[in-house]
Structure 1
Amino acid sequence: MISFLFRMVTLFLLFSSIAFGFTYIFLGSPTDEDWGFLFKTEFDELPVLAIIFITIAVLSFVISMWMSSVARSRETSATRYVKQLVEPDFTLKKKNVSFTLKKALIQANDLIETQRKSLQRMTNEKAEANDKLIQERIIAERQRLARELHDSVSQQLFAASMLLSAVTEQEDALGTSKPTLQQVEKIVQQAQLEMRALLLHLRPIALRNNTLAQGLTDLIQELQQKVYFNIDYRIEEIELSKAEEDHLFRIAQEALSNTLRHAKASEVELLLIARDNVGILRIQDNGEGFNIEDDKSTSYGLRNIAERAVEIGCSYKIVSVPGEGTIVEVKVPLGNKVDEAASLSKRSDVVELEKKEEATE
């Protein structure tokens, strides 16, 4: 708003100065005799001078509106391009982009790709270094799992055993055992789901001699025999680094664990596919969903998913609608080496833009 008013006032003063200059050239010095008709001559009860100023004001307003609209359009376009820079499959397809903006976008995208691949390389080196600590991690993971099993599943199973004891002491004629047994059944089922969700955290060992696709397939086939909901999956073999496979498998575990514990879903879909040189891992359920801003029940798991995705240079998306379900999606650029042809093409584009700018100047 302030910029609009500034443009309008500036244009008004500019046009007024131009009008005064032309009037001075044609009528000479401002005297009563030469300039008096501007005040005395009227059209629709308005003097000529007032009509001139009104015309200048309207013209300034219209031009200011047009300039503001163009500025907003350019700002929106630039903002859209900047947001797209973080996507691994970013391409600049618009031909009406200025040379300066195109050059800046290409350079920014090169920098982001370099940083992403550097982060992936560091993650791979970290994963290789951590191989020496696998045994200690296995022990620590089992201890953590034992504590969680004791604090969650054991307590629920204890409650179930107490209820069963109460049922056996009741008389058959009272008719109160049926709702109690139903309650026991729900508790036991929840305990089983909790147990399976916690046991998922031991599964990365299965990837030691398997690919990510094989590990996910084995995990889902095992879960299908134990859970009460349907799991549809589509898994393709994708060439990934050791660190990427480990992190993506952990992300899938975390998402499935959250589904078992909290979603109460009847259907779950898992996809691992490659499209346009981008690997996509998506876990979707039709459960209760939650408000990401308010619900803290899965905040720890979501934070783990986000941290693991960022650590290997991936983009991630978590969408949940209460009553509709939840979607967890991770995109990872395929390949660890820079495509030399694409890199050379980008560099040639930058050089060409620089030459054109120098020629224009």
Structure 2
Amino acid sequence: MRKGIYFFIFSATFGLLFFLIIKFLEVLNYNWVEIWLRDWIGLQILAMLFVLSLGAVALAFLAQVWRAQTIRARLHPALEQIRKGQVYTSLDDPVLDSDLRALGQSIHSLQQKRQETENENLVEKAKVVTQERQRIARDLHDTVSQELFAASMIVSGLRQSRLDVAGIQKELQGVEGILNTAQNDLRILLLHLRPRELEGRNLVSALETLLAEVEEKSLLKIRLEVSVDQLPSEIENHCYRIVQEFISNTLRHAEAQHLEVYLKQTAGQLQLKMVDDGLGFNQQENKEFHYGLANMEERVEDMAGRMTLRTAPYQGVAIDIRIPILKGEQDENSISG
């Protein structure tokens, strides 16, 4: 390609010189044919001038090619020096040197911004870890620690009491209830300690594992219905954490016996519905549940979706989430209720 360009430039230069000589002869009222046939001296002079002109043009052209090749050979090391943040060797070309300085400044600025972003991410991750540790410590102190302390005090009191067998059985039943509550609170804490991401699994597999574990370690009867195609990883992670949050709230507050999770993908939309048959709550009064609800709403907003909550005291909780997706299997059936 480059050789073709050079040949074109050389040919155009040769044609231009020939054209100028013809015009020069016309201005001097010389006839080209007469010079060719009769005036050999004039013809030799013209030929010499033509060759000299052509040689000068060729030399100028070759000089430019050589300069371009030289700059090209020096440009790569200069770009490599700029990439490494070093002071590059000048190319002795004011325009290129100016462009390279601007490029170096831009790269340096981008590197600084990237480093600042990475530092901010590290600080944010450290902040999240600290907050999570504080939350776990607070939850352990407010729930399990207090419950175990209460059970310990009751058992300690029994050693000094003079209760009959019926009284002791009643106290032990109370201790059993406290320990069962502590065990349930520990399950909730362990649920929050599960990985925030899917660890290479798809959403369906992760939900099956999570719900099977919850059903095994609690009194909940769980139902899972899934009909999905492949989903973007970001949507899968958000949905997984939303289900985790809902289960946590159900175990902590609902006193439910059944929990149902439906996940259905239709054309252009993903529907996630979660239902329990627990105590429900008054949306204007229950502040404890609102924290988990706010987390779910934030995740839904990140996916440009919408969330509908239906609940009332002693009527359970139903959350219906609709998330737009770019593609999906056509399915006209939706989860009703």
Report the TM range for the smaller structure's normalisation.
0.5 to 0.7
Do residues 252 (structure 1) and 252 (structure 2) align? no
> Partner of 1:267 in structure 2?
258
> Partner of 1:69 in structure 2?
none
Shift of 1:335: 2.6
Distance 1:239 1:137, change over 3 A: farther
Q: Which amino acid counterpart does residue 197 of structure 1 have in structure 2?
A: I
Mapped contact 2:257–2:277 kept (Cα < 8 A): yes
Residues 293-318 of structure 1 show CA distances to partners (whole Å, capped at 9, x for unaligned) of: 22223111111111111121111111
Aligned residues: 210
Unmatched runs of 5 consecutive residues or more in structure 2: 1-116, 329-337
> Partner of 1:160 in structure 2?
151
Distance 1:336 1:235, change over 3 A: closer
Secondary structure at the counterpart of residue 264 of structure 2 = strand
Secondary structure at the counterpart of residue 201 of structure 1 = helix
Q: Which amino acid counterpart does residue 217 of structure 2 have in structure 1?
A: K
Mapped contact 2:272–2:321 kept (Cα < 8 A): yes
Unmatched runs of 5 consecutive residues or more in structure 1: 1-125, 338-361
- TM-score scaled by length of structure 2: 0.56
> Partner of 2:200 in structure 1?
209
Q: Tell me the C-alpha RMSD between the 2 structures.
A: 2.8
Report the Cα distance in structure 1 between the residues aligned to 2:186 and 2:260, rounded to whole angstroms: 21
Report the Cα distance in structure 2 between the residues aligned to 1:133 and 1:211, rounded to whole angstroms: 27
* Higher Cα Rg, which structure: 2
Mapped contact 1:204–1:246 kept (Cα < 8 A): no
Identity %: 36
Mapped contact 2:214–2:220 kept (Cα < 8 A): no
Q: Which amino acid counterpart does residue 207 of structure 1 have in structure 2?
A: L
Shift of 1:292: 0.9
Do residues 199 (structure 1) and 190 (structure 2) align? yes
Residues 169-217 of structure 1 show CA distances to partners (whole Å, capped at 9, x for unaligned) of: 3346252122222222222122122121122222234512111211111
Mapped contact 1:233–1:271 kept (Cα < 8 A): yes
> Partner of 1:221 in structure 2?
212
Shift of 1:268: 0.8
> Partner of 2:233 in structure 1?
242
Structure 2 residue aligned with 1:329, among 285, 302, 320? 320
Do residues 287 (structure 1) and 256 (structure 2) align? no
Secondary structure at the counterpart of residue 225 of structure 1 = helix
Q: Which amino acid counterpart does residue 303 of structure 2 have in structure 1?
A: I
Report the Cα distance in structure 1 between the residues aligned to 2:316 and 2:179, rounded to whole angstroms: 24
Distance 1:286 1:217, change over 3 A: same
> Partner of 1:181 in structure 2?
172
Distance 1:190 1:283, change over 3 A: same
Residues 273-301 of structure 1 show CA distances to partners (whole Å, capped at 9, x for unaligned) of: 21343211111011111111222231111
Report the Cα distance in structure 1 between the residues aligned to 2:254 and 2:275, rounded to whole angstroms: 11
Mapped contact 2:197–2:237 kept (Cα < 8 A): no
Q: Which amino acid counterpart does residue 229 of structure 1 have in structure 2?
A: L
Q: Which amino acid counterpart does residue 274 of structure 2 have in structure 1?
A: I
Report the Cα distance in structure 1 between the residues aligned to 2:123 and 2:268, rounded to whole angstroms: 32
Q: Give matches, 1:286-325, under 5 Å.
A: 286-325=277-316
Residues 10-37 of structure 1 show CA distances to partners (whole Å, capped at 9, x for unaligned) of: xxxxxxxxxxxxxxxxxxxxxxxxxxxx
Structure 2 residue aligned with 1:141, among 132, 137, 140? 132
Mapped contact 2:263–2:271 kept (Cα < 8 A): yes
Secondary structure at the counterpart of residue 207 of structure 1 = coil
Mapped contact 1:240–1:335 kept (Cα < 8 A): no
Between 1 and 2, higher relative CO (CA 8 Å, sep ≥ 6) is seen in 1
Mapped contact 2:268–2:327 kept (Cα < 8 A): no
